[in-house]
Amino acid sequence: MLFQIDTFPTPVRNGAGKRLGEQPSIHPTTSIRDCKIGSWTEIGPFNMLAESSFDDYSYTSEYVDVIYSEIGKFCSIARNVRINPGNHPMHRVTQHHCTYRRARFGFGEADDAEFFAWRRAHKCVVGHDVWIGHGAVILPGVTVGTGAVIGAGAVVSKDVEPYEIVVGVPARPIRKRFPEEVIEALLAIAWWDWDRATIEERFEDLMDTPRFVEKYSPVRRV
Q: Is 46 exposed, middle or buried (0-12, 13-18, 19+ CB in 10 A)?
A: middle
Q: Are residues 46 and 65 in the same domain?
A: yes
Return d(Cα 205, Cα 211) in angstroms, integer: 7
Question: Is 183:169 a contact under the CB 8 Å cutoff?
Answer: no
Answer whether residue 50 shows pLDDT above 70.
yes
Q: Is residue 206 part of a domain?
A: yes
Q: Are residues 54 and 127 in the same domain?
A: yes
Q: Is residue 103 part of a domain?
A: no
Q: Is residue 80 part of a domain?
A: yes
CB atoms near residue 3 (< 10 Å): 4
Give yes or no: 91 in active site: yes
pLDDT at residue number 218:
86
Answer whether residue 4 shows pLDDT above 90.
no
Q: Range of 209's domain?
A: 178-222
Q: What is the pTM of this model?
A: 0.89
Q: Are residues 71 and 129 in the same domain?
A: yes
Confidence of residue 222 (pLDDT cuts 50, 70, 90): very low
Q: Are residues 166 and 152 in the same domain?
A: yes
Q: Are residues 168 and 216 in the same domain?
A: no
Q: Per-residue pLDDT averaged across 7-24, rounded? A: 69
How do residues 119-141 score in pLDDT, each as one tens digit?
A: 899 999 999 999 999 999 999 99
CA dihedral 59, 61, 67, 68 (to 10 degrees): -20
Return d(Cα 164, Cα 145) in angstroms, integer: 8
Q: Which candidate in 27, 88, 91, 96 is catalytic?
A: 91
Q: Are residues 157 and 186 in the same domain?
A: no
Q: Is residue 115 part of a domain?
A: no
How do residues 164-200 score in pLDDT, each as one tens digit?
A: 999 999 999 999 999 999 999 999 999 999 999 999 9
Q: How many domains does the chain have?
A: 2
Give the CATH number of the domain where residue 33 resides. 2.160.10.10
Q: Are residues 80 and 185 in the same domain?
A: no
